[in-house]
Amino acid sequence: MQKLALSDEILLNIEKPVRYIGGEVNCVMKERSEVDVRFCMCFPDVYEIGMSHLGIQILYDMFNSFDGVWCERVYSPWPDLDKIMRERHIPLFALESQDPIKNFDFLGITIQYEMCYTNILQILDLSGIPLYAKDRTEEDPIVIGGGPCTYNAEPIADFFDFFYIGEGETVYLDIINLYRENRKNGGTRRDFLEKVAEVEGMYVPMFYDAEYNEDQTLKSFTPNNPHAKKTIRKQVEMKLSETYYPDAPVVPYLQVVQDKVTLEIQRGCIRGCRFCQAGMLYRPIRERDVEFLKKQAVKMINNTGHEEITLSSLSSSDYKALQELVYFLIDKYKDKGVNISLPSLRIDAFALDVMSKVQDIRKSSVTFAPEAGSQRLRDVINKGLSEHSILNGAGDAFKAGWNKVKLYFMLGQPTETYDDIEQIAVLADKIAREYYEDVPKEQRHGKCEITVSTSFFVPKPFTPFQWVGMNTSEQFTEKAHFLSGKVREQLNQKSIRYHWHDSDTTILEGIFARGDRRLCKVVYDAYKKGCIFDAWTDYFKPELWNEVLKENNVDLDFYIFRERKEVELFPWDFIDAGITKEFLLREYKNGKAEKVTPNCRKACARCGAFEFHGGVCLEPRGAEQ
Amino acid sequence: MTVRIKFAKYGNLKFLSHLDVLRFFQKAVRRAGIDVTYSGGFHPHQIMSFAAPLGLGQTSEAEYFDMELNSMKSEAQVLRDLDAQMPDGFKIIDVCLLPETGPNTKKESVMALVTASDYLVLRKDGYENGLTNEELYSKLIEFLAQKEIKTIKTTKTGDHEIDLRPLIYDFKTGSDLPEVSDLAEKYENGFKVWLFLSAGSENHIRPELVFKAFYDYMGLEFNAYEYQVHRLESYTGDRENLIPLYKLHRK
């Protein structure tokens, strides 16, 4: 039995000690004497969130399949333990071996959202690793960043030795081997980073200098080291049915957010919604082979004993063999206590049939994400969902026995008017009318429940809206209040509920999403003042953040509110994500002209992803939608 | 058919809560491929019922739960299949098929059966209270020689004064105790006490309560983290005729 890093007394004095003891079913243990590279994979949030992330499960499995490499895990210690570790100078440790992170060769941090930035510093600090990459010595682990936020990691660039841009399945083994070779040759940390910089997709921030214009915009971004590439092209795994996928993911003892088998059926999206970063970054869409998925599902359920399996993708309905896969799973597992969940499903006859088999119609709801209330604004954002199909889908669901509908929208998208916002309330009312006017009274189950939720739009890099000015907190709040009032004016207002969230973190997300290197100091100062777990309402400290923004003279107008010029050089322009800036700009203009761009299966929009020679780009077009 | 499973929970898994243990077994049973009975509905679950939950931080080699099965080859097969799914920290010790109950008889509840449990109480290393093991043992013998031990027991309904003495069925200290279980924690200081206590819904006495009263008696501050409790067995029946749960339906 592994000796634990924390004493019984500490573990019995904190919430959920099981977060810190490792030893879960399927976690990988290796002999220290039989490995020469120690890698620690980190999700900088609490265990229950981090353990729900598929990417880490895939990479954990991959690293541990490499000879001589032992990959372990670490998550953010919750504030109760954080305090004790600081008071007693207990170094942060990996779950499997319970060894200090400081003694590892690598610390790989996945960066999924901006509000975890201070937690990254917490991890480094508690590990005893200097926060700034420039201050690290030969004794410190190499700190790597990965995940969606690395497509503009400038606001945290100073804290990382390098970023791995793109999908992790491709070149990590090469990097490990470079590390071994460098160590054998007695090379330094810097020697290693110079070799890494030559690998496609690897970005070593300290090898680049940024210069700024008088108006604060970026003037130039250039390598200061001959080994560093001028542009960095993302890594893409084109053979998704032949690459790493865990047969036996780690099964947490604790109830985690995604307490189920996650089957990633495809990567990428054909839809091209103009606000959506994932839909742009992961192009081209690549499907996994259905036979591969069936085999994988069976193995994973057998090896974990999970009671639920979920199909994961940005838009499940676009997976061509979806029906075959879903009916296979239902037939195989219906009587074995394994439930099937299907997020991101377009509501049609097939979806309703599947849902009626796997859910309790009386308790569940059907979900639509129109994102905008009016057809005009849906055309601006290229959300190919028409009012007709929403009303039909909802009407069919009502006739089949459902009476709950959830609707998701965004406020603050470009060109939005108060009329567009009012249309959200009107659409909700029309759905309610489908229920009261088309379902005979004797077939109804009480009132229908329409839930409208809105979030605030944050423009993201590598989207057609990367030039757009973001709304202010006041505008957001006003829009939400306006919508709330409009909902109350509807005929069926008693059947409509409206939810919206505060805009505090939205502004920060906006600043960091399109920020530059000068913001590293802001993240650092916020952390030093005591900000951690910013994604958690109970721990988010807006007053401290406001202080830090003020002290650092962060100009919100510059970073988020202004409309950016077409010619402006962006801090992320040196990254080649496969899609060209010309395409994004063209799409931005199409958006402003309310012009819809067909999805990838209907017509090629010449986004640039064809360069990867795979996925939808090589499918015959016109045959399917 | 219903089987009664006896298992051990030890080592680092003493930090699992009772709820974590329930979740763990739902998944372990599915991994083991046991033909378990599911409840109906859209969120089917296995039909299991657990005996007295163990406190967080305690170890045990006598935890029990009953589970409904559709079929099985043999008790031994269920034991092998389920034990193969146990990580370090869980161990399946016994599987026993319960006699069929008639249509009008109420199923016996494993929780309600328990009337007594015995425990090892060990002292963790690194704690000091100025007394040697021998001194602590003799104080404990003196403490338990009292005719009456009044103490306060806190329950859901509030604080109640009770007399502990009749609820402590037996005890042994140090060298009077035979070899300590392999599954209990090991400490260098060698302190060990065995307590046989009343348990169940009526008069459930936790070893910590006895030790708290013992420290009060000595006039010392009691630190619950200082001691490790390990359950050895749970029993059913009245005091004169206590039967270990796993033997209840053994021929």
Residues B80 and B184 in one domain: no
Q: Please give the Cα distance from B198 to A63 (Å, whole number).
A: 52
Residues B67 and B156 in one domain: no
Residue A622: predicted pLDDT: 59
* Residue A113 and residue A149 in contact, taking contact as beta carbons nearer than 8 Å: yes
- What integer is the mean pLDDT of A22-35? 97
Whether B19 has its CB under 8 Å from any CB of chain A: the answer is: yes
User: Ramachandran region of residue A352, left (φ > 0), alpha (ψ -120 to 50) or beta?
Assistant: alpha
Smallest CA-to-CA distance from B41 within A339, A538, A271 is with: A339
* Minimal-distance CA residue of chain B relative to A306: B27
Helix (H) or strand (E) holding A404: strand A404-411
- Residues of B in Cβ contact (< 8 Å) with A4: 12
Smallest CA-to-CA distance from B29 within A25, A340, A261 is with: A25
Q: In percent, how much of chain B has pLDDT > 90?
A: 80
Which sign does the torsion angle of CA A509, A234, A346, A276 carry? positive
- DSSP line for A263-303: EE-EES-SS--TT-HHHHHTPSPEEPPHHHHHHHHHHHHHH
- Both tokens of A229, joined, read 């590439």
Domain assignment present for residue B250? The answer is no
DSSP H helices, A22-165, are 47-50, 54-65, 79-88, 117-127
- What integer is the mean pLDDT of A71-98? 98
Residue B247 has pLDDT above 70, yes or no: yes
CA distance A306 to chain B (A): 6
Largest Cα–Cα distance in chain B?
61
CA distance B118 to chain A (A): 23
Torsion of CA A365, A371, A372, A377, to 10 degrees: -140
Smallest CA-to-CA distance from A44 within A577, A538, A527, A552 is with: A527
Place of tokens 């057998």: A302
Residue B27: predicted pLDDT: 96
Residues B148 and B239 in one domain: yes
Whether B251 has its CB under 8 Å from any CB of chain A: the answer is: no
Residues B65 and B119 in one domain: no
* Minimal-distance CA residue of chain B relative to A299: B31
Residues B121 and B232 in one domain: yes
Smallest CA-to-CA distance from A157 within A180, A141, A173, A134 is with: A134
CA distance A258 to chain B (A): 14
For residue B238, the tally of other CB atoms under 10 A from its CB is 9
Residues B139 and B227 in one domain: yes
Question: Contact B88/A12, CB-based, under 8 Å?
Answer: no
- What integer is the mean pLDDT of A342-356? 87
Helix (H) or strand (E) holding A405: strand A404-411
Higher local confidence (pLDDT), A385 or A517: A517
Q: Please give the Cα distance from A512 to B159 (Å, whole number).
A: 54
- What integer is the mean pLDDT of A249-257? 96
- Both tokens of B116, joined, read 């007594």
User: Between A and B, how many residue pairs show a Cβ–Cβ distance under 8 A?
Assistant: 86
Whether B221 has its CB under 8 Å from any CB of chain A: the answer is: no
Residue B100: predicted pLDDT: 87
The CATH number that domain A8-228 falls under is: 3.40.50
* Residue A574 and residue A230 in contact, taking contact as beta carbons nearer than 8 Å: yes
Most B CBs within 10 Å, among A2, A9, A20, to test the B interface: A9
pLDDT tens digit sequence for A50-71: 999 999 999 999 999 999 999 9
Helix (H) or strand (E) holding B61: strand B59-68
* Residue B165 and residue B94 in contact, taking contact as beta carbons nearer than 8 Å: no
Whether B124 has its CB under 8 Å from any CB of chain A: the answer is: yes
- Residues of B in Cβ contact (< 8 Å) with A18: 15-17, 20
Residues B89 and B123 in one domain: no
State residue B125 phi and psi, 5-degree precision.
Answer: -70, 155
* Minimal-distance CA residue of chain B relative to A303: B31
Decide: helix, strand or coil at residue A544.
helix
Of the candidates A12, A24, A254, which has its C-beta nearest B57's C-beta?
A: A12
CA distance A488 to chain B (A): 35
Of B56, B87, B108, the one marking the end of a domain is B108
Angle subtended by helix axes A504-513 and A473-489, to nearest 10: 130
Domain assignment present for residue B122? The answer is yes
Most B CBs within 10 Å, among A6, A8, A93, A309, to test the B interface: A8
Of the candidates A8, A23, A358, which has its C-beta nearest B124's C-beta?
A: A8
CA distance A227 to chain B (A): 47
Question: Contact A337/B13, CB-based, under 8 Å?
Answer: no
Residues B123 and B169 in one domain: yes
Most B CBs within 10 Å, among A7, A13, A25, A340, to test the B interface: A25
Decide: helix, strand or coil at residue B235.
strand
Alpha carbon separation from A586 to A566, A617, B109 (Å, rounded): 11, 19, 70
β-pairing, A69-75 vs A37-43, is parallel
* Minimal-distance CA residue of chain A relative to B30: A305
Of the candidates B16, B36, B46, which has its C-beta nearest A18's C-beta?
A: B16
Which residues have C-beta within 8 Å of that of residue B175, sequence separation ≥ 6? none
Smallest CA-to-CA distance from A366 within A339, A387, A343 is with: A343
Question: Contact A337/B46, CB-based, under 8 Å?
Answer: yes
Lowest mean per-residue pLDDT among A480-484, B105-109, B228-232: B105-109
Of the candidates A11, A301, A302, which has its C-beta nearest B15's C-beta?
A: A11
CA distance B113 to chain A (A): 28
Residues B123 and B94 in one domain: no
Of B54, B89, B108, the one marking the end of a domain is B108
* Minimal-distance CA residue of chain B relative to A259: B23
Tell me which residue range forms the domain holding B125.
114-244
Question: Contact A304/B19, CB-based, under 8 Å?
Answer: no
- Both tokens of A168, joined, read 């992790």
Residue A625 has pLDDT above 50, yes or no: no
Question: Contact B15/A1, CB-based, under 8 Å?
Answer: no
Domain assignment present for residue B249? The answer is no
The b/e string for A349-385 (b: 16+ C-beta within 10 A; e otherwise) is eebbebbeebbebeebbbbbbbbbbbbebbbbbbbbb
Place of tokens 């043992």: B137
pLDDT tens digit sequence for A430-464: 999 999 998 898 888 889 999 999 999 999 999 99
Question: Contact B225/A1, CB-based, under 8 Å?
Answer: no
Decide: helix, strand or coil at residue A487.
helix
Residues B97 and B168 in one domain: no
* Minimal-distance CA residue of chain A relative to B45: A337
Residue A623 has pLDDT above 70, yes or no: no
Question: Contact B56/A255, CB-based, under 8 Å?
Answer: no
Which sign does the torsion angle of CA A508, A514, A515, A517 carry? positive
Question: Contact B27/A25, CB-based, under 8 Å?
Answer: yes
* Residue A271 and residue A463 in contact, taking contact as beta carbons nearer than 8 Å: no
**Residue A453, CB half-sphere, CA atoms under 13 Å: how many?**
10
Residues B201 and B142 in one domain: yes
Residue A555: predicted pLDDT: 97
Most A CBs within 10 Å, among B12, B123, B222, to test the A interface: B12
Of the candidates B42, B44, B57, which has its C-beta nearest A359's C-beta?
A: B42
Which residues have C-beta within 8 Å of that of residue A20, sequence separation ≥ 6? A4, A5, A6, A11, A47, A77, A81, A95
- Residues of B in Cβ contact (< 8 Å) with A306: 27, 30
**Residue A591, CB half-sphere, CA atoms under 13 Å: how many?**
26
- What integer is the mean pLDDT of A465-479? 96
Whether B38 has its CB under 8 Å from any CB of chain A: the answer is: yes
Whether the bond between A17 and the residue before it is cis, its omega within 30 degrees of 0, is no
Smallest CA-to-CA distance from A251 within A62, A26, A71, A45 is with: A26
Q: Please give the Cα distance from A475 to A412 (Å, whole number).
A: 8
Alpha carbon separation from A487 to A374, A422, A453, B250 (Å, rounded): 15, 8, 12, 68
- Residues of A in Cβ contact (< 8 Å) with B88: 1, 23
* Minimal-distance CA residue of chain B relative to A338: B44
Higher local confidence (pLDDT), A458 or B105: A458
pLDDT tens digit sequence for A117-128: 999 999 999 999
CA distance A448 to chain B (A): 22
Of the candidates A1, A307, A359, which has its C-beta nearest B12's C-beta?
A: A1
Smallest CA-to-CA distance from A461 within A570, A587, A371, A554 is with: A570
What is the ipTM score, two decimals?
Answer: 0.94
Smallest CA-to-CA distance from A182 within A173, A197, A195 is with: A195
Helix (H) or strand (E) holding A197: helix A189-197
List the CATH number of the domain containing B99: 3.30.70.580
Measured in residues, chain A has a length of 625
Domain count, chain B: 2
Q: Please give the Cα distance from A259 to A574 (Å, whole number).
A: 38
Residue A207 has pLDDT above 80, yes or no: yes
Q: Please give the Cα distance from A195 to A214 (Å, whole number).
A: 35
- Both tokens of B238, joined, read 């009245």
Whether B31 has its CB under 8 Å from any CB of chain A: the answer is: yes
Q: Please give the Cα distance from A76 to A119 (Å, whole number).
A: 7
Decide: helix, strand or coil at residue B228.
strand
Q: In percent, how much of chain A has pLDDT > 90?
A: 91
β-pairing, A496-500 vs B227-236, is unpaired
- Residues of A in Cβ contact (< 8 Å) with B45: 307, 337
Question: Contact A4/B16, CB-based, under 8 Å?
Answer: no
Whether B145 has its CB under 8 Å from any CB of chain A: the answer is: no
- What integer is the mean pLDDT of A268-284? 96
Residues B97 and B122 in one domain: no
Average pLDDT, chain A: 95
